[in-house]
Amino acid sequence: MTELESLGLAEQAKPSGARIGAGRPSVDVKARTGAYVLAVDLRVDGLTVARVGLGGVVQARATGPVPAGHDPEAIASSVVELMRLVVKDVDPGAALVGVGVGVPGIIRAEDGLVRLAPNLGWRDVPFAKILASRLGPVAAPVLGNDADLGALAEHLRGAGVGVEDLVYLSGEVGVGAGVIVSGHKLEGAGGYAGEIGHMPFLPDGKLCHCGAHGCWETEIGAEAIALAIGCPPERVGALGEFLEGVHDAPDDLRLVGRHLGRGLAGVVNLLNPRVIVLGGYLRSLFPLVHDDVESELAVHALIAPRELVRVTLPGLGGDSVLHGAAELAFEPLLADPVGCLAVACVDVDAALAV
């Protein structure tokens, strides 16, 4: 019996055998009573908040717009409003054990400082602190890069279960990569690895939000896709619906597909992944330009790694980042159940009323 089971929090299903993050064995835990986390997927064009139980069970969810101008204080307030909605009918005895937030930017792990989120216009924004000031000490939020969290979740419960070498691409307004190599997350010296959207791609390309010209994301990100199908810039938040209405990809969209395939060839050559998962808007784009992506891969990826890779859609649909944020929030509980529950918050109304 595990510590979680002895505390009456969970009954353990069969272990999946997959490994995540820093090599922690993944445990498929079924929730029995109520330890839960609040998971936040903060995107440039929308907010999703969910109450998630052990084993990745989404118990309640709420979505909302991102306040205009991407003001961090206003976004934190919107997040807390959505949190109130998802805890409205929570079991009175259930314990909130963590808050995890996926952010499309470069995060300093130790204090949740957002060093750079170019598409939010954020530079050195202490978003963990700003959100924490609204939540009280029992629900200190932990921030993670959206693509890293997508990779974590797909590795644990999605298209990458049992796969030790995986790349998850978050295709939003910006494009990032979460990379798992030999079962371990690729971090880099400062934890900032994976900013593949800013890979120099076209010598005289468009101006990127990061300040450089010709980054890969200016050719395959949401704004490029929107331009290719005539979706007005102010409707980029509804790009998924626009893409669903496209049946024959116009030439401009097929060019986006070829740019996607050519960049992916670089990923294949550099990292030799077994699986590449296309998240965000790339999920809706890929079926429309599949042949263009594959033809560029065939030309530019080296045959040996090319033979081993599978480009696929997320197993968790549009929820990869949300599930990753939940996993991040559960980490303290899984590492130290007794210590974590000692400070867990049962009176969630009080926590959110601060």
Residues lying near Zn ion in the complex (CB under 5 A) are found at 198, 208, 210, 212, 215
Cβ 215 to Zn ion shortest distance, Å: 3
Cβ nearer to Zn ion, comparing 105 with 160: 105
Cβ nearer to Zn ion, comparing 212 with 338: 212
Cβ 198 to Zn ion shortest distance, Å: 4
Cβ nearer to Zn ion, comparing 185 with 198: 198
**Phi and psi of 8, rounded to 5°?**
75, 20
Both structure tokens of 113: 């400082």
With a CB cutoff of 8 Å and minimum separation 6, the contacts of 325 are: 39, 40, 41, 100, 101, 102, 144, 149
Cβ 61 to Zn ion shortest distance, Å: 31
Cβ 116 to Zn ion shortest distance, Å: 10
Both structure tokens of 49: 């908040």
In this structure, the strands spanning 95-103 and 141-145 are parallel
Cβ nearer to Zn ion, comparing 106 with 249: 106
Cβ nearer to Zn ion, comparing 210 with 313: 210
Q: Which helix (H) or strand (E) holds 46?
A: strand 46-53
Cβ 64 to Zn ion shortest distance, Å: 28
Helices (H), the chain: 3-6, 72-86, 127-132, 146-157, 217-220, 222-229, 239-244, 251-271, 282-300, 303-308, 320-335, 337-342, 348-352
